[in-house]
Structure 1
Amino acid sequence: MIEEPAPLRIARDLRRPAADQVAAIAAHPTGFVVDAMGGAGAMAAGIAPLPGLPDRACGPALVAGNRPGDLLGTLAAVAFAEAGDIVVAETQGFQGCAAAGDRVLGMLKNRGAAGFVTDGPMRDLEGVQAVGLPVWATGLTPNSPVSHGPATLGLPAQVGGVRVAQGDVVLADCDGVVVVPFDMLDRVIAALDVVAQAEHAMDAEVAAGRHEPGLIRAMLDSGDGVQWV
């Protein structure tokens, strides 16, 4: 037999990155940040912005771990949210009921949260739109969750195929949600300058009339890796 877990486990250290680290990530689109991390770090494509809401947010992750159909961890996140936080609510991908609704989001906005991300659906779309807090979710359902636990706050969770830990930086826009691990922040910020310069240079070349990728032209000119059939 195993010992019954506590209904709610909360990390003592709800760490958050420095404001200038968040601002450095927020200055770029999600695609640039993914490229600065070697081409990965985005949540599953099904996690998308809800309509009628702002589609850009960036801030420290406040991680709520929930079992399927439960939101006790999310309710704990409401009580501990600080200005600028993005609550990341794990549901283990459960699609049978909503991860949260308009009243939860209203309280988060009152606490100054910057956004809400979940791997489950939401409910109360009109109310959520009235609140105005940016939300990324898998869709909508009117089914209600419960609040029994066990749940966690501030401990790592798996959301949309990506590990999210307390204090990671979450950047979300119209393309999706990217998670920058806490211990990689300075490295990614440094790489972003190089990525941004290359992207802007390529944009200028395409705008000026460039009409083919350099990689394909190099392969055709050298013959390496090309077989004509």
Structure 2
Amino acid sequence: MSSNDLARGHSSATLSEASGLFVALSPQIRSLWAGARLCGPAFTVQGAGGDNLALHHAVPQAPPGSVLVADVGGARFGHWGEILTVAAQQRGIAGLLIDGGVRDAAETAALGFPVFSRNNAILGTRKDFRGVLGRPVKVGGVTVNPGDLVVGDVDGVVALPASDTERILDRAVARVTHENELMKRLREGRSTLDLYNDFETAGRCHR
């Protein structure tokens, strides 16, 4: 099973905590429509605020299954909309993560294309800067490198370093197993304080 498939089984919060790293993007980066979920390797785009030419160049070059990860400086312009969404879907792109504004929320939701952005904005954009593709970009306060695994859901977005993804996913599985055991005991009538005291005691006994 691929890392993408394994990551889809975990929430962004679980992956963030399992990583032990600064991988969680700013909470201001949110899904454009309810229920959107993002998962795939990053194809990075360095653009410019108020200009979406870089995104038009990125779509035909991004590998199918990848997530476009674009830095446009958080600018409040509609850098992405229905036309680019249709083009991206035809290419097989898995979604968009952009530190900036997008528009056409209803149309994008109807198409089922995952978009996570800093804001929604209707101001039009120019097309002057071709951008730079395939270099590290900063999105939501986190540096994202090409190939990093991007996962987004209702709680937020994480960017997992490609070199560390396997370790993080293993830790996520262990974390979920532990939490399932906690919830089983809670349903048996234990309190959260009881459970955490039990684990604290067990930890001291094994030191």
Query: TM-score normalised to the size of structure 1?
Result: 0.79
- Whose helix fraction is larger, Structure 1's or Structure 2's? 2
The residue identity in structure 2 corresponding to 1:128 is T
8 Å Cα contact 1:89-1:99 kept in structure 2:
no
Q: Is the partner of 1:139 in helix, strand or coil?
A: strand
Match of 1:192 in 2: 172
8 Å Cα contact 1:94-1:120 kept in structure 2:
yes
The alignment's C-alpha RMSD in Å is 2.1
Match of 2:15 in 1: 33
Alignment of 1:46-85 (within 5 A): 46-51=28-33, 54-85=35-66
8 Å Cα contact 1:70-1:147 kept in structure 2:
yes
Q: Which moved more, 1:84-93 or 1:124-133?
A: 124-133
What is the Cα deviation at residue 143 of structure 1? 0.4
Cα distance change on mapping 1:201 and 1:85 into 2, 3 Å: same
Gap runs ≥5 in structure 1: 1-18, 222-229
2:75 aligns with one of 66, 71, 94:
94
8 Å Cα contact 1:77-1:153 kept in structure 2:
yes
Match of 1:138 in 2: 118
Structure 2 CA distance, aligned partners of 1:135 and 1:46?
13
Cα distance change on mapping 1:40 and 1:206 into 2, 3 Å: farther
Structure 2 CA distance, aligned partners of 1:122 and 1:141?
6
The residue identity in structure 2 corresponding to 1:80 is Q
What is the aligned-residue identity percentage?
28
Alignment of 1:95-114 (within 5 A): 95=76, 97-114=77-94
Structure 1 CA distance, aligned partners of 2:65 and 2:94?
5
What is the Cα deviation at residue 188 of structure 1? 1.2
Structure 1 CA distance, aligned partners of 2:124 and 2:188?
53
Structure 2 CA distance, aligned partners of 1:114 and 1:65?
18
Gap runs ≥5 in structure 2: 202-207
What is the Cα deviation at residue 205 of structure 1? 2.5
Structure 2 CA distance, aligned partners of 1:29 and 1:168?
17
User: Do residues 176 (structure 1) and 152 (structure 2) align?
Assistant: no
Deviations 1:79-103 (A, max 9, x none): 11222111111111222x1221110
Match of 2:188 in 1: 208
Between structure 1 and structure 2, the one with the greater Rg is 1
The residue identity in structure 1 corresponding to 2:88 is L
Runs (4 or more) in structure 1 with deviation over 4 Å come to 214-218
1:165 aligns with one of 120, 145, 148:
145
The residue identity in structure 2 corresponding to 1:49 is S
Q: Is the partner of 1:172 in helix, strand or coil?
A: strand
